[in-house]
Amino acid sequence: MEPPTMNPVVEPLSWMLGTWLSDPPGAGTFPALQPFQYLEEAYISHVGQPVLNFSFNAFHLDTRRPMHRECGFIRLKPDTNKVAFISAQNTGIVEVEEGEVNGQELCITSHSIARMSFAKEPHVEQVSLPLQPSLLPPCAFSPQRAQIIPWPGVCLST
């Protein structure tokens, strides 16, 4: 079976396609946990629709234990540089993040965040993602991945 033709609406995002690995590892801090490091793998694909599909999978750096999981879609508003990420996470959070893509630079901020009624605290209130491929070898990615801001002064970022 031949791969599908990329929909022209998402052609400006074609640089994102593939499997990316965080380099260097991310660092996480939360009030009730010891600081930790994690690796993140991003897989971005398409099936010919006017959206990209994505999955982000984080693993503990030392134990390789699975951590955060996220999957969803990336959409572009046709004929603009406006972009949206629509995602669901294994923590019970569903979010829409919107922003702009300029060449190979993408910057998005949370627009809407919802969570299941029994999600663990702290509750995420804002997410921002500046994303730009680094000058690393192919299949390496340094994403400044999600600054998750559950309350002032606490964040998870790389």
Distances, alpha carbon 79 to alpha carbons 11, 42, 45, 101, in Å: 11, 26, 21, 12
The answer, yes or no, to whether residue 147 has pLDDT greater than 60, is no
Mean pLDDT for the chain? 78
Per-residue pLDDT tens over the stretch 93-112: 899 999 998 888 888 888 88
With left for phi above 0 and alpha for psi between -120 and 50, is residue 46 left, alpha or beta?
beta
Task: Give the per-residue pLDDT at 109.
Answer: 85
Which of 5-19, 93-107, 116-130 has the weakest average pLDDT?
A: 116-130
CA distance 109 to 40: 19
Residue 61: CB atoms within 10 A of its CB come to: 18
Which has more pLDDT, 10 or 119?
A: 10
Query: Do the beta carbons of residue 38 and residue 60 sit within 8 Å?
Result: yes
Query: Do the beta carbons of residue 157 and residue 144 sit within 8 Å?
Result: yes
pTM flag (> 0.85): no
Return the closest-CA partner of residue 68 out of 23, 28, 110, 32.
28
Name all domains of the chain by residue range, CATH numbers in brackets: 8-157 (2.40.128.20)
Cβ within 8 Å of residue 80, ≥6 positions away: none
Alpha helices in the chain (DSSP H): none
* Local confidence band at 143 (pLDDT 50, 70, 90 cut-offs): very low
The answer, yes or no, to whether residue 136 has pLDDT greater than 70, is no
Mean pLDDT of 56-79: 93
CA distance 39 to 61: 6
